Structure 1
Amino acid sequence: MCTPTNVNPAPAANAPQVTLTLSNGVGVSGDVVLTLDPARAPLTVANFLTYVNAGFYDGTVFHRHAPTFVLQGGGYAGPMTAGGVVPPLKATNAPITLEDNGGLSNQCLTVAMARTNAPDSANSQFYLNLNNNTFLDRTPQARGYAVFGSVTSGNAVLTAAINAPCTAWAGFLGAGECLPSPNITVTRARQTR
């Protein structure tokens, strides 16, 4: 498991938490707890909690795994098979305004919103940083990706997910990226604080 090179500011003691229950049926099984930071990313946290509290993430899969980069999910309902037909994205709410200036960095074990190349395009998809990906942070030359919390429990489950079997899928995923096979599913996502 990676170690952050810089530590992000700590969220408030009563910051919201979300528990993701993960399973792939063959070794990944358990909870990953995310502690969110609404003081530094209020729109992003509110957006994520809207999806969580609506049950949107239940049954979604982590569709993008880059072992030394990110584990991304929140857009597709399973099952997905590498080389098969890409299922349609789940219907989402309107995209949100990018909050890449709140002082949180894409450090190891943080959670951030995925988006297209357009800055204000994030909706439901999120990723867990599996490395210190500070090149995803805002710079004077480019917009970044909005970090809105961190993994605060469940490192053993996340390690099992990182080490789970994975299949390349040319045309859908980039080089060095793969689809966890069997799928790593969010069986349940709940706000627990």
Structure 2
Amino acid sequence: MNGVTAPNATLAVDSNGDGQYDDAVATANSSGIYSLSVPLTADGQDQGDHRLMIKATAAAGVADQSIYVHYATGTLVRFNTTSGTFDAELLDADAPVTVANFLSYQASPAYSGLIVHRSVPNFVIQGGGFTLSDSRISSMQTNPPIQNEFLAANSNLRGTLAMAMVSGNINSGSSQWFINVADNTFLDEGKYTVFGRVLGNGMSVVDQINNLTTYDLKSVYSNGALGEVPLTKAPPTGTQLTGTVSLQAGSPLLSGSGTAFTSELAVGTDIWINSQIYRVQSITSNTEAVLSTTASAVVTSASSWKDFLPDDADFVVFSSIDELLPLLP
């Protein structure tokens, strides 16, 4: 550890919290530059976390400073979100298959636009399942599921990163994971594999996400997994369009009866019809428009809505998940 202090100051370190500054000693040169070697371990209750107290004694007086240091033995990754940034150490040695699986998604475009799609207060936040682009949520394209690597020694405690699974199948983990916001040791019975730990004050960011109000977007996006989505503000309630609309399977043509497409719609407007989201590509008249995609089924004389999707800025989005420090050989 290198730094600058008062010229010729004596520095002493307390690295084990016993109040004794006897774990490392050094003397700064005439320019105040010093170098200290402090022995650290990755063992113990704090799993590599160390709070170092450094005391500098010079002619002008005595000064103390506290420094957080983490001694990592696994891969370090940084989660950059719209709610803040936090770092995690992955447990390469204890869960090599799970870590490799996570890093394969992280290194690919698969996690681009990833969102926190589930948040349960004082329980978990969950990601890895859905991406967001232009107000549209898409399910992840996943790789084959991996083998479960649960270890009883790595319990689902607050701050741990664990694999999500299909209920009843311990070997179903793929792209989804969650962060434990509380000590959820009961999840150990289900063998949810812990493969990482949030570092330092990173849980303050996770807590901030977990404290956001969640909204049920299952019907909006026709997906049963989106019932507890954290948003920074309430989604719009939607505006029902005048008249009724009809669609033919395999056709992009939207027909209306008693509708006012020219005044109520615009090119690019998203509309909700029978639990499906469509986008307007062009408008021919008050009763005819063309959609950007074809209808998957026949729709007859149905109601429709606009202004119902949350803005992209309202979601918690991972702008990137970066590998900071790979596992050393």
Instruction: Name the TM-score, length of structure 1 as normaliser.
Output: 0.79
CA drift of 1:41 comes to 0.8
Q: Are 2:296 and 1:183 equivalent residues in the alignment?
A: no
What does residue 145 of structure 2 align with? 95
Q: Relative contact order, CA 8 A, sep 6+: which one is greater?
A: 1
1:19 counterpart (78, 90, 99): 78
Q: 3-state DSSP class of the match of 1:187?
A: strand
For residue 119 of structure 1, the aligned residue among 170, 192, 213 is 170
Q: Whole-Å Cα distance in 1 between the matches of residues 46 and 101 of structure 2?
A: 21
Residue 150 of structure 1: CA displacement?
0.6
State the SS of the aligned residue for 1:33. strand
1:78 aligned to which of 129, 132, 139: 132
Tell me the amino acid that sits aligned with residue 159 of structure 1. Answer: D
Query: Take 1:96 and 1:120, find their aligned partners in 2: how far apart are those partners?
Result: 6
Q: Report the alpha carbon displacement of residue 159 of structure 1 after superposing the two structures with TM.
A: 2.5
State how far apart, in whole Å, the 1-side matches of 2:186 and 2:46 are.
15
Quote the Cα distance in structure 1 between the aligned partners of 2:157 and 2:204. Answer: 18
In 2, the alpha carbon distance for the partners of 1:63 and 1:10 equals 30
**Contact residue 156 and residue 185 of structure 2 kept, 8 A:** yes
Count of residues in Structure 1 that have an aligned counterpart in Structure 2: 173
Equivalent position SS for 1:60: coil
User: Given that residues 80 and 183 in structure 1 are in contact (C-alpha distance below 8 angstroms), is that contact kept between their aligned partners in structure 2?
Assistant: no
Q: Which has the higher strand share?
A: 2
Q: Note if contact 1:61-1:79 (Cα within 8 Å) is conserved in structure 2.
A: no
Q: Unpaired runs of 5+ in structure 2?
A: 1-44, 50-70, 232-313
Name the % identity. Answer: 31
Q: Which amino acid aligns with 2:192?
A: Y
Structure 2 counterparts to residues 130-169 of structure 1, below 5 A: 130-138=181-189, 143-153=190-200, 154-169=202-217
Cα deviation code 1:134-188 (max 9, x no counterpart): 01114xxxx41000011004233222212223213467259xx621122111111
Question: What is the CA–CA distance in structure 2 between the aligned matches of 1:158 and 1:76, rounded to whole Å?
Answer: 18
- Aligned-pair RMSD on alpha carbons? 2.6
User: Is contact 1:55-1:189 (8 Å) kept?
Assistant: no
SS of equivalent residue, structure 2 residue 98: helix
Larger Rg: 2
Structure-2 residue corresponding to 1:4: none
